[in-house]
Structure 1
Amino acid sequence: MRVAYLGLSLLWSLTSATILQNGQVKDDPYPGQAPIIALDDSWTSYGADAPEIAYKGRWDSQHISWWSAPGIKLQFSGNKLAVSFGPGTTDGVLVAYRLGNLDWQYSNVTADSTYQFIGPWTEMDEDLIDAQKPFEMRVQIAGVSTANTAQLTVPPKFNRKVEVIGGSIASGQYASYETLSSWAYLFVAGLGNVEHTLTTYAGACLVDKQCYDGQAHGMTWYWNRASDPGSRSRAFYPDGPEVWDNSAEQPADLVIIQMGGNDYRHPNEIPGRNFYHAYVELIEDIHRTWPHAVVLIMSQWWVWRREGLNYIPSIAYEQEAKDVHAHFKDKGFVYYFDTTGILQHNDINPKNHPTDVGHVKLASHLLQWAKLVLRWNMEPLGEVQHGTLYWNDQQEY
C-alpha cells in the first residue's frame, strides 16, 4: 500500500460562515461533509508523487499548495475514493470537491486523517462504476486511495491555459464560496476546456514594497514564487518562499491582471508613477516568459459616490492603467478591459468587493470578450455559476 501525506493550504480562512439566500440563512450552506475512515486492505493508495494525480495551481517541493484554490484532478474507476491529509493541514479547513461537472461539495478536514469522498451514498449509474470518472478537489490533498480492484488514471490536459493575477477581488473574498464564487474562477470555468492558475491573494499589492504588515514584496516579485504573501506562508518559510519557474509550466494563452486596490488604499497609497512602472515590469516579465500570451489589463473600480440622484463610479489608477496599455499598444498583445458600466453600486458590498451577482456579471462580460476578441469558443456552453446551488429555487418567497 503506497501512502504519502502532504500539508493542506487554506481555501477559506474560516471553517464555516453564514450564507444568506434571499435574505434568509441558508439551511445547508456546505453540503458534502465526508466521513473520516481508516484505510485497510480493501484500498489501494497512491503517493503524493503518483503520476496519475494532476496538480493544478502552484505547489512547492513539499507538495504544499498555495494561492487561490489550487487542487488536483484525476480519473478513477470503482465506487469509492478517499483522500488523506498530512501534518501541515490546518485543522478544520474547508475543502471543495466534485465528481465530474456536478455541483461542488464541501467538507471540513483535519491533519493526519483520511476522508472518504465517494462511497455508497454517491448517486452513480451502474455503467459508471467501472468507467474512468473525473474527480476534482480544490485545495491540496495528501494522497489518494481507491478500491483495490479499481484504477487511478491521469485526466487529459487541455491545450489552452489561462492565468489570473490579482488580489482579494479576483480571489473572491467575501463572496459566498470565496474563490469558487469569484469572477476569476467563474470565467475560467465558463470557458470550459482550459487549464487555469489563479495567482491571486487577498491583500497583495502590485508594487514590490512593504504592503500592509508583514508583506515585504508585491506581485512583481511574488509572481516568481511558489507560495503567497500570507502569514501562514511566512511561518512555513521564514527565510523566504521557494522560487517558482513559470517557464517550466504550460505556457498561458491568456493572462488577466486585476490589481490596484491594495496599492491604492491606506496605509499603502502607492504613487501612481510607481504603480505604472510596476505594471510595465510585470507585463514585460510575463511576455519574456510566455511570448505568445495575450495580456488583459482589467480596470480596478474604487468607490461609488452619490451625485444628486445618481451613483457615479470611480476607478483606482485609471490613467496609469490606460498608460500601461498605451505603452504596449503597438506590440499588439496587451488589451484593456474597462469594467465601467458592468457593475452598479448595489453589486458592491460595503468593503468594495463584488457581491455574488457582481462576480457573475464580470465573468459573463469577460466570456463575451474572449469570444469576440480572441475568437474562443465556449466549451461546452460558456456557463457561469453552474457549480454551486445557492440561488432561490422556490416559487413562493
Structure 2
Amino acid sequence: MLFGLAALLCLVAYSTATILQNGQVRVTDYPDTKIELSEGSWMTYGANATEIHYIGRWDAKHVSHWSAPGIRFGFTGDDVAVTFGSYTQPGTLVGYRVSGMDWQFTNVTGGATHQFTNSRTPGINETYPFNPNVFEMRVSNWGYGIQLDKIHVSEGESIVKPDARPRTIEFIGDSLSAGMYNSYEALFGFAYGVGEGLGNTEYSITARPGICVTDQECFGNPRGHSRQWFYTTPGDWRSRELWGDKEHPWNFDAHPAADLVVINIGTNDANEANNVDSADYVTHYKRLIQGVHGKWPKAQVIIMKMWIGFFQSGNSYFQSHDLANEVYSVYEYFNSEEYLSAPVIYDGVTNETTTLGEPTEPFVHFFNTTGILQFNDIGPLWHPTDVGQIKMASHLIQYISTKFGWEMMATGPE
C-alpha cells in the first residue's frame, strides 16, 4: 500500500511538472543559442540589407513593435546567426524555423549573437521544396521587442530575398488577437492561427493588450487604435525610451497594401474601468475603418463580433457580447447607401476626414462569433484557452475561404 502511494505521488509530481502538447512533452527550458562570433568564420549583413524581409512594424532603429513581429530571408549554407542590438529586452522569447520545419524557441539577449542553425538542424541539408532554405524568426510577445543588428551566414555563403507571398492580411486588435495568456502568446492567438492556417499568406498583427479603439488611455496604452494604428509604435514606455516624445507615422506607401483587414476591438472599451461612452466607441470604430479605407482602398475589412466570456444563468452558461449592437451598427453604417455613395476617409495623423467624390463598393463584412466558443474555451483570466484560439481561427479561416474565395494553401508547414 505504501509502495502504491509512493508511486502515485511520483506520478502526480511528474504530471504537474510536465506539459504535454499533442502527446509529446513540450520543452520550456529552451536551449541556450548564444555564441562567440569570433570563434567562427562568417559572412555578415547589416540590418538594412535588402534581402531581409521585415514582418510587422519595425522602426528606423530596427526595433520591433506590436505583436509577433519578425524577419524572413533565404540563405545558402548551413549556418545562420543573428546579432541583437542593445535595445533588445533581456530574455525575449523568439520562435524560429527553417523553411517548413517546426518552430523552435530560445531566449535572446541584447548585445549578443545567437546561432539558430547548423549542419545538424533538421531540414538544413534538404533542398525540396524550399531551395534555398528560408529562415524565419518572430517575437512571441507584444510588449517585449528585439533590435536587429546583423545577420551572419557561413563564410562564402549568402542571404537571399525570399519570394513574395500572394496575399496579405492585417489584424488589428487587443489582447485577444495578441494571444495573451496562451502557450506561446502571439504565436498561439487566433490571428496567428488564421495567417498560418491559410498558408502562403503574409500577415501582421497590430495588436496590444489593454488598448481601446477609442482614442484615450486604456490600461496603460496612452492612445487608442483610431489614432495609434497609423503609427509605427504603440506609444508605450519602450517607444518613449527609444524616441522620447517624437512619434513616427507608419509609412504605408513603403509596404504592400493589405488585401484583407480583420478587426476585433472593443473589449477594453467595454470595460467599466475605462469609462468609454458607447457613442464614442462607435465614432472611433468608424474612424479606424475610414482610415483603413483611406490607406488601402482595395482592402476588404472583416469586423468581428466580440466575445467577453460566459455567465451563469440558472443551470447553464450563456455567452456575453458587450457592445454587440454598437459593433453591428458600424457594419450597417459602412454598408448603407449614405456611406457608399459618398465614402469618407480619415487620417489619424492629421486628424482630418475627407469625403471622396466617387462612390465605393461594399467592403466591410461582419463575422458573427456567437456559438463558436463554449464556457470551457475561456480561461480563468477571461481570455481564450489554446483550444479556444484554435476554434476561433478555424471558423474564421472557413469564413474567409467561403466569403472571398481564398484557397487554403497550407501544404504541411506548421
Cα deviation, residue 35, structure 1? 3.6
Judge conservation of contact 2:101–2:122 (CA < 8 Å) in 1.
no
Give the whole-Å Cα distance in 1 for the aligned partners of 2:67 and 2:378: 21
- Alignment equivalent of 2:196, drawn from 179, 186, 189: 189
Judge conservation of contact 1:93–1:109 (CA < 8 Å) in 2.
yes
User: In the alignment, residue 54 of structure 1 is paired with which amino acid?
Assistant: H
Runs of 4+ in 1 over 4 A off after TM superposition: 24-27
SS of 2:381's partner is: coil
Aligned to 2:324: 318
Cα deviation, residue 202, structure 1? 1.0
Aligned to 1:348: 378
Q: Is residue 303 of structure 2 the alignment partner of residue 293 of structure 1?
A: no
SS of 1:176's partner is: coil
- Alignment equivalent of 1:266, drawn from 264, 267, 272: 272
Cα deviation, residue 106, structure 1? 0.6
Aligned to 1:361: 391
Q: What does 1:173-252 correspond to in 2, within 5 Å?
A: 173-213=180-220, 215-252=221-258
SS of 1:354's partner is: coil
Give the whole-Å Cα distance in 2 for the aligned partners of 1:78 and 1:339: 46
Cα deviation, residue 33, structure 1? 3.8
Q: What does 1:155-166 correspond to in 2, within 5 Å?
A: 155-166=162-173
Give the whole-Å Cα distance in 2 for the aligned partners of 1:268 and 1:126: 54
Aligned to 1:78: 77
TM-score relative to the length of structure 1: 0.87
Structure 1, 195-204 or 161-170: larger mean CA deviation: 195-204
Give the whole-Å Cα distance in 2 for the aligned partners of 1:33 and 1:27: 16
Residues 161, 322 of structure 1: CA spacing in aligned structure 2 closer, same or farther, 3 A cutoff? Answer: same
User: In the alignment, residue 85 of structure 1 is paired with which amino acid?
Assistant: F
Give the whole-Å Cα distance in 2 for the aligned partners of 1:25 and 1:269: 45
SS of 2:307's partner is: strand
Q: What does 1:62-211 correspond to in 2, within 5 Å?
A: 62-124=61-123, 126-128=125-127, 131-139=131-139, 140=146, 141-211=148-218
- CA deviations on 1:152-180 (whole Å, 9 max, x unpaired) are 10101112110000000100000000011
SS of 2:196's partner is: helix
Give the whole-Å Cα distance in 2 for the aligned partners of 1:21 and 1:124: 24
Judge conservation of contact 1:82–1:145 (CA < 8 Å) in 2.
yes
Residues 45, 369 of structure 1: CA spacing in aligned structure 2 closer, same or farther, 3 A cutoff? Answer: same
SS of 1:305's partner is: strand
- Alignment equivalent of 2:263, drawn from 220, 243, 257: 257
TM-score relative to the length of structure 2: 0.83
- CA deviations on 1:113-153 (whole Å, 9 max, x unpaired) are 11111013313464549951011000343311011121210
Unaligned runs of 5+ in 2: 1-16, 140-145, 341-361
Aligned to 1:29: 28
Judge conservation of contact 1:68–1:199 (CA < 8 Å) in 2.
yes
Aligned to 2:44: 45
SS of 2:197's partner is: helix
- CA deviations on 1:160-214 (whole Å, 9 max, x unpaired) are 110000000100000000011000001011111111111001111110012234x
Judge conservation of contact 2:183–2:386 (CA < 8 Å) in 1.
yes
Judge conservation of contact 2:222–2:236 (CA < 8 Å) in 1.
no
Judge conservation of contact 2:233–2:239 (CA < 8 Å) in 1.
yes
Judge conservation of contact 1:82–1:118 (CA < 8 Å) in 2.
yes
Cα deviation, residue 267, structure 1? 1.5
SS of 1:264's partner is: coil
Cα deviation, residue 350, structure 1? 1.5
The structure number with the bigger radius of gyration is: 2
- CA deviations on 1:83-118 (whole Å, 9 max, x unpaired) are 101111111211110111211111111111111110
Give the whole-Å Cα distance in 2 for the aligned partners of 1:366 and 1:265: 25
Aligned to 1:13: none
User: In the alignment, residue 82 of structure 2 is paired with which amino acid?
Assistant: V
SS of 1:285's partner is: helix
- Alignment equivalent of 1:329, drawn from 329, 335, 346: 335
The count of corresponding residues between Structure 1 and Structure 2 is 366
Give the whole-Å Cα distance in 1 for the aligned partners of 2:222 and 2:131: 49
Judge conservation of contact 2:101–2:123 (CA < 8 Å) in 1.
no
Give the whole-Å Cα distance in 2 for the aligned partners of 1:106 and 1:27: 11
Identity over aligned pairs, percent:
37
Aligned to 2:402: 372
